[in-house]
Amino acid sequence: MSEEPIVAGTATDVSKQRRGKRRGDRDAAPQAPIAGIRRQIPTYDILSEGALVAIEQTADRILAEIGIEFRDDPEALRLWREAGAEVTESLVRFPKGLVQSILRSAPSSFVQHARNPARSVVIGGDTVIFAPAYGSPFVRDLKDGRRYGSIADFENFVKLSYMIPWLHHSGGTVCEPVDVAVNKRHLDMVSAHLRYSDKPLMGAVTAEDRAEDSIEMARLVFGADFVDQNCVILGNINVNSPLVFDATMTNALRAYAGANQACVIVPFILGGAMGPVTIAGAVAQSLAETMVGCALTQLVRPGAPVIFGNFLSSTALRSGAPTFGTPEPAVGSLAIGQLARRLNLPLRCSGAFTASKIADGQAMSESAMSMLAAVQCGANFILHAAGWLEGGLTMGYEKLILDADFCASLHRYLGGIQIDENQLAMSAFEEVGPGKHFFGCAHTLENYRTAFWESEVADNGPFEQWQDGGERDSVDRAGRRAKKLLAEYQAPALDPAIDEALRDFVARKKATITDQWY
Amino acid sequence: MSEEPIVAGTATDVSKQRRGKRRGDRDAAPQAPIAGIRRQIPTYDILSEGALVAIEQTADRILAEIGIEFRDDPEALRLWREAGAEVTESLVRFPKGLVQSILRSAPSSFVQHARNPARSVVIGGDTVIFAPAYGSPFVRDLKDGRRYGSIADFENFVKLSYMIPWLHHSGGTVCEPVDVAVNKRHLDMVSAHLRYSDKPLMGAVTAEDRAEDSIEMARLVFGADFVDQNCVILGNINVNSPLVFDATMTNALRAYAGANQACVIVPFILGGAMGPVTIAGAVAQSLAETMVGCALTQLVRPGAPVIFGNFLSSTALRSGAPTFGTPEPAVGSLAIGQLARRLNLPLRCSGAFTASKIADGQAMSESAMSMLAAVQCGANFILHAAGWLEGGLTMGYEKLILDADFCASLHRYLGGIQIDENQLAMSAFEEVGPGKHFFGCAHTLENYRTAFWESEVADNGPFEQWQDGGERDSVDRAGRRAKKLLAEYQAPALDPAIDEALRDFVARKKATITDQWY
């Protein structure tokens, strides 16, 4: 077990790596390093100053007049009482301005280090990071249909996310490995992320000791001192909306924030169920809840990185069924983006949401609506960017590929329009003139290699070619691509001493735990 | 044949209709009148003032230094010479500022009247009008696959667009009725729009006499005097990009503009083929071409309504295949929107574009990317909003339904977020409090009926229900919906005298024409 940081994200460390024995490993990686996107177009701001203030005032009233409940967590109540909040049994009410003032110590942007420094990401400012979907008990592929996820599926999704350059992050619970005991899953999941990928990752949040184990495993890789000073693992903390934080979540929050690791605070609001049916109200509630969760991280450890999260969707009010990728949460995300920027916090918003059971037209249309809102609102960390089906119940192999292709297109979209002499192309017009074509002109030859984004899954060829090829739809093509990527997968190199330390840690922990299956 | 306007768009006429015998007909219409959307969110402006000026200056240089060719049309050349352009054989060069100064007479907004005044639309300002796809030789449905379009298909698409409240316009060549002689199609097409729908329509542009026949048929319905003073039919004028107007198009342009009917001027640019491979250059070219076409309408008849059109897409440069719904044209549309507003002209942009052969995930993902850009850029008239497949070669029955459902969601999207006491929902938080749900609370009961948009095609129910229902995908559900709508179709009432006049006109015209089949 090594305490030395094997990889670290500073410039010095990067240059050491490049001179060192690991250089060859990185060169053998399946794609050029793309550690996130820098958004080069403005955010899409739809609300006026007056509208934003009205929502902020409603959030303030919710916090001051209704309050937030912290269940079964005396330590959280103590922190709030000391900070100046009004605590009555488990209910906390917040004087106007308190949480905003606490939030000032939170960084507006931070680096999450990956064990391969070329894959470290900046979260905040104008960067955009895509991570796969999170938390599905089921998985689906064309061959075997829908079934419970296994650790083999989990490893497959980690491998696929590693292979796909358009996903910058390995995510967390990419599916539930239902064949592993509930209280041991986190060990196998964090191991898989660290072993099968070298991208940044998320740890467990389902119990305090599991969160601590996750962070301890990160320490084995990055070194304890490095981890104390740098973010290397994220924890996704859901609010039990409306207006409740459960002890499970606040305990996990304290584990991550206390270790200087980043929490993503996520109010989980389906309008009509866990929030009101009006978007302005749901956004105000979301703002109130996430501000409180983010502020709690700062009470635990001022300066700890934290992400302003949001999960907003609607319900079909005749049936009560949750709906995803609908227009109301999309405009809600645009509003949330404006509100997060006013607090100067990194933002997480929506993802490739859909209620569809399969990666059909409904799925991709809903996912596009949701993902475009996420990038347009300025979200920095986009969880569920690929794979999500059936309201999050299912992780789809083909859906992962199709969504990742959409993520690829968003890299180009967020690049916007460059304006310079070459881009304005006056030389092309001079060469070609009226009525001719641009295929062979000098400007085209100079620019065509990088000119247009090309999908890795779309079929753009002639009809007859598509027909002769068996009339495959995009799910079919995506399934073939997933299979091909998995067949070609090669693990990123891992120091054998670290590998051994991780295996040892997992074996020792498992030996002390009695399986729990629910 | 009546010269009286049967329906007209003024308030007085509407009230006459409401008192008159036709009221019952309108009440029997299959949906509440929704004559377009008023966009209540800002446009998405991605370019800076400097970038916009750079593109405008490039367009000015294209017009002054390269010029635009007007082929086989001495009348167009005469108009340009008289207006002060420099004409050399068929090439016209434009002194800086000339076209912009001519464009000042064009209206920034106009009404296109429908024969049912409740369906008249405003084109310009903050309104958004959706029209079905245009010009496909093929049609496709699940049952019979891809085949040449027939007049029966054409009528079906007119009927479907009439039935769907989210399409505000009947469109034009909703598919090519290949079983009708090329030189007689326009008569059957315009008849079908006027008979099977009461929404606004587009006329023929493929020859000057066909354009004139289309306008003449509109006169039979609206009255000649009314048509001379009001827009009742649109003509879609394609530029033969790069930088060429063919006589077929300029002759049709003169027919429409001369009759005070609106032209949509559409540069048709696939980057790398009819334009440069760089977006800034393609946008500059598009701006130059459409300004010239729009200005020509003003030389023909100052004040004639005209729409600043745009059709921008990319090519897969390794294969040369056109691609649709890709990110570059999407950001291109956002730029075009800013440029059109600086000229104060109504705008047409993209549509539900895709290169996919079927309405699968690729199709709906590409269409969503394209349509969201269209509405975000502020486009007023969105042709190809529903049905488009295979780069425009095929009109799909199921695609029409799925796209129309996306159009429905855009109605809600463009409504943005309302801010008032009810929307901010403080009363709901007071009633519900932490940890409870909002399903039955008073605020939900007061608001749920209109709270969330609900798709007419999406499956949001539980997995088991979907499985028991036969695991239908969205294409299957859309096909069933198309069939149901066609079975339920009832024609809007048409004055028998007008019906007779239209039939008589078509019969007389057909009797004088020898069939042409190519």
Which one has a higher pLDDT value, B9 or A458? Answer: A458
ipTM for the predicted complex: 0.93
Chain A to chain B Cβ contacts (< 8 Å): 411
- pLDDT for the residue B17: 32
Compute the distance between CA of residue A445 and CA of residue A455 in angstroms, rounded to an integer.
20
On the question of pLDDT at A373 being above 80, the answer is yes
Q: What stretch of H or E contains A252?
A: helix A247-258
3-state secondary structure A316-334: ECCCCEEECCCHHHHHHHH
Alpha helices by DSSP H, A175-246? 185-196, 208-222, 224-229
pLDDT per position as a tens digit, A101-118? 999 999 999 999 999 999
pLDDT per position as a tens digit, B165-194? 999 999 999 999 999 999 999 999 999 999
What average pLDDT does the structure give for chain B? 93
**Alpha-carbon distance B463 to nearest alpha carbon in chain A (angstroms):** 7
Q: Do A473 and B44 touch (CB under 8 A)?
A: no
Q: Do B361 and A360 touch (CB under 8 A)?
A: yes
| Most B CBs within 10 Å, among A238, A438, A447, A457, to test the B interface | A438
**Alpha-carbon distance B511 to nearest alpha carbon in chain A (angstroms):** 38
- pLDDT for the residue B500: 98
**Residue in this structure with the two tokens 């019906």, named with its chain if needed:** B499
Question: B64 touching A, CB under 8 A?
Answer: no
Q: Residues of A with CB below 8 A from B400's CB?
A: none
On the question of pLDDT at A28 being above 90, the answer is no
- pLDDT for the residue B450: 85
Residues listed for chain A: 518
Question: Residue A448: which of B58, B272, B394 has the nearest Cβ?
Answer: B272
| pLDDT-derived band at B35, boundaries 50, 70, 90 | confident
- pLDDT for the residue B129: 98
Q: Residue B384: left if φ>0, alpha if ψ -120 to 50, beta else—which one?
A: left
Q: Residues of B with CB below 8 A from A45's CB?
A: 42
Compute the distance between CA of residue B28 and CA of residue B505 in angstroms, rounded to an integer.
29
Q: Do A327 and B453 touch (CB under 8 A)?
A: yes
- pLDDT for the residue B250: 98
- The residue in chain A having the minimum alpha-carbon distance to the alpha carbon of residue B411 is A327
pLDDT per position as a tens digit, A244-277? 999 999 999 999 999 999 999 999 999 999 999 9
Q: Are A54 and A278 in contact (CB under 8 A)?
A: no
Given the DSSP bridges, would you call strands B233-239 and B201-202 parallel, antiparallel or unpaired?
A: parallel
Q: Do B277 and A55 touch (CB under 8 A)?
A: no
* Core vs surface per residue A24-59: b (16+ CB within 10 A) or e: ebbeebeeeeebbbebebebbbbbeeebbebbbebb
DSSP string of B241-266, one letter each residue: SSSEE-HHHHHHHHHHHHTTPEEEEE
Q: Do A365 and B364 touch (CB under 8 A)?
A: yes
Compute the distance between CA of residue B239 and CA of residue A368 in angstroms, rounded to an integer.
31
| pLDDT-derived band at B320, boundaries 50, 70, 90 | confident
pLDDT per position as a tens digit, B100-111? 999 999 999 999
Q: Are A35 and A168 in contact (CB under 8 A)?
A: yes
Q: Residues of A with CB below 8 A from B289's CB?
A: none
Q: Are B493 and B27 in contact (CB under 8 A)?
A: no
- pLDDT for the residue A331: 98
Question: A21 touching B, CB under 8 A?
Answer: no
Torsion of CA B138, B142, B145, B150, to 10 degrees: -40
Q: Residue A66: left if φ>0, alpha if ψ -120 to 50, beta else—which one?
A: alpha
Residues of chain B above pLDDT 70, percent? 93
On the question of pLDDT at A27 being above 50, the answer is no
On the question of pLDDT at A391 being above 90, the answer is yes
Paired residues of B313 in beta bridges:
B270
pLDDT per position as a tens digit, B48-87? 999 999 999 999 999 999 999 999 999 999 999 999 999 9
Q: Are B425 and B404 in contact (CB under 8 A)?
A: no
List the one residue out of A157, A171, A158, A174 whose CA is nearest residue A129. Answer: A171
Q: Do A473 and B402 touch (CB under 8 A)?
A: no
List the one residue out of B234, B35, B231, B200 whose CA is nearest residue B127. Answer: B35
On the question of pLDDT at B3 being above 60, the answer is no
**CA–CA distances in Å: residue A449 to residues A80, A442, B272, B317:** 57, 13, 11, 8
pLDDT per position as a tens digit, B368-400? 999 999 999 999 999 999 999 999 999 999 999
Given the DSSP bridges, would you call strands A86-88 and A91-93 parallel, antiparallel or unpaired?
A: antiparallel
Q: Residues of A with CB below 8 A from B65's CB?
A: 430
**CA–CA distances in Å: residue B75 to residues B80, B254, B260:** 9, 10, 18
Compute the distance between CA of residue A513 and CA of residue A188 in angstroms, rounded to an integer.
14
Question: Residue B273: which of A318, A413, A439 has the nearest Cβ?
Answer: A439
Residue B382, CA atoms < 13 Å, CB-side half-sphere = 35
**Alpha-carbon distance A40 to nearest alpha carbon in chain B (angstroms):** 9
Q: Are B193 and B158 in contact (CB under 8 A)?
A: yes
What integer is the mean pLDDT of A284-305? 98
What integer is the mean pLDDT of A282-295? 98
- pLDDT for the residue A270: 93
Q: Do B368 and A369 touch (CB under 8 A)?
A: yes
CB proximity list for B496: less than 8 A, separation 6 or greater: none
| pLDDT-derived band at B518, boundaries 50, 70, 90 | confident
Question: Residue A360: which of B67, B448, B474 has the nearest Cβ?
Answer: B474
| First and final C-alpha spacing in chain A | 32
Compute the distance between CA of residue A172 and CA of residue A132 in angstroms, rounded to an integer.
8
CB proximity list for A507: less than 8 A, separation 6 or greater: none
What integer is the mean pLDDT of B401-428? 98
SS3 content of chain A, % helix, strand, coil (to 5): 45, 15, 40
On the question of pLDDT at B47 being above 90, the answer is yes
Question: Residue A275: which of B273, B430, B438 has the nearest Cβ?
Answer: B438
Q: In what side-by-side order are the strands of the sheet with A394-396?
A: A145-148, A138-141, A394-396, A388-389
What average pLDDT does the structure give for chain A? 93
Compute the distance between CA of residue A9 and CA of residue A117 in angstroms, rounded to an integer.
5
**Alpha-carbon distance B508 to nearest alpha carbon in chain A (angstroms):** 39
Q: Residue A145: left if φ>0, alpha if ψ -120 to 50, beta else—which one?
A: left
Compute the distance between CA of residue A164 and CA of residue A411 in angstroms, rounded to an integer.
13
What integer is the mean pLDDT of B459-471? 97
Compute the distance between CA of residue B414 and CA of residue A256 in angstroms, rounded to an integer.
40
How many CB atoms are located within 10 Å of the residue B432 CB? 24
Compute the distance between CA of residue B378 and CA of residue B349 in angstroms, rounded to an integer.
9
- The residue in chain A having the minimum alpha-carbon distance to the alpha carbon of residue B65 is A430
Residue A437, CA atoms < 13 Å, CB-side half-sphere = 9
- A271: DSSP letter: B
Compute the distance between CA of residue B229 and CA of residue B12 in angstroms, rounded to an integer.
16
Least confident of A27-31, B47-51, B235-239: A27-31
List the one residue out of A73, A70, A71, A92 whose CA is nearest residue A83. Answer: A92
- The residue in chain A having the minimum alpha-carbon distance to the alpha carbon of residue B281 is A424
Question: B137 touching A, CB under 8 A?
Answer: no
Residues of chain B above pLDDT 90, percent? 90
Q: Are B244 and A436 in contact (CB under 8 A)?
A: no
Question: Residue A66: which of B319, B320, B433 has the nearest Cβ?
Answer: B433
On the question of pLDDT at A21 being above 80, the answer is no
Alpha helices by DSSP H, A344-392? 361-376
Q: Residues of A with CB below 8 A from B276's CB?
A: 425, 428-429, 438, 443-444, 447
**CA–CA distances in Å: residue A135 to residues A3, A392, A397, B92, B276:** 31, 7, 14, 63, 45
- pLDDT for the residue A10: 30
Question: B152 touching A, CB under 8 A?
Answer: no
Helix, strand or coil, per DSSP, at residue B342:
helix
Compute the distance between CA of residue A272 and CA of residue A326 in angstroms, rounded to an integer.
14
Compute the distance between CA of residue B386 and CA of residue B228 in angstroms, rounded to an integer.
31
Which one has a higher pLDDT value, A11 or A140? Answer: A140
Question: A331 touching B, CB under 8 A?
Answer: yes
What integer is the mean pLDDT of A141-148? 96
Torsion sign across C-alpha atoms B368, B371, B376, B377: positive
The three-point CA angle A498-A500-A506 to 5° equals 105
| pLDDT-derived band at B319, boundaries 50, 70, 90 | confident
On the question of pLDDT at B16 being above 70, the answer is no
| pLDDT-derived band at A318, boundaries 50, 70, 90 | confident
Compute the distance between CA of residue B439 and CA of residue B444 in angstroms, rounded to an integer.
6
Structure tokens at A345: 């916090």
Residues listed for chain B: 518
Q: Do B41 and A437 touch (CB under 8 A)?
A: no
Q: What is the CA radius of gyration of chain A?
A: 23
3-state secondary structure B478-496: HHHHHHHHHHHCCCCCCCH
Q: Are A277 and B452 in contact (CB under 8 A)?
A: yes
Chain A from 348 to 377: CB within 8 A of any B CB: 355-369, 372, 376
